[in-house]
Structure 1
Amino acid sequence: MDVATQRMIASKGGQAAHQKGTAHEFDSEEARRAGQKGGEAVSRDREHMAEIGRKGGESRQSASRLARQGGKEEKR
């Protein structure tokens, strides 16, 4: 099943739940707690966190390198 079809079916299910009155809607406090819980779970995976840090460092280094190269080209 392609992604578009899957999304359409899920959307219909969500709409039906709302019409029926059985759909759950997060309030801001509940959403905050869920996000915090997910963040704690992800941060326990040290290897994953190290990979994220490496990617951020590489991205920052690349941006810095491009900025320096851009400055040199402008001076020529």
Structure 2
Amino acid sequence: MANNNKNNNQKISYEQAGQKGGEKVSNKYNQKHFEEIGQKGGEKTSEKYSQEHFEDIGQKGGKTTSNKYNQDHFEEIGKKGGESTSQNKDKDFYQEIGKKGGETTSEKHGEEFYEDIGKKGGRNSNSNR
């Protein structure tokens, strides 16, 4: 344990000592300092590891999160995110992301994909009449 106060020998935990040290560092440096060292760390890390490494850890994190929370949790955060985005974005934003999504889907799946989903949609709408 670390010695907190030399006058009365009050002892604190490592966690408390770390928190005090963190507060001192936070008070000593400004936000720009932390952004710069974060940027440097990110650059070094991306040089050290491949994209596949980051994909793997992203998938592991996704699986862990998926196992930890239920469907209601994801619906709730999705709804919050959607509401926040809709308040902060305009019509042009949605047109642009729709266009990008359509182009990406077209490049990935091709013309046959649209023919198939069109036929399926047509069958479903005819059976609902």
Same-fold call, TM > 0.5? no
Determine which structure has more spread, i.e. the larger CA radius of gyration.
2
The normalised TM-score by structure 2 is 0.29
The normalised TM-score by structure 1 is 0.42
Q: Which has the higher strand share?
A: 2
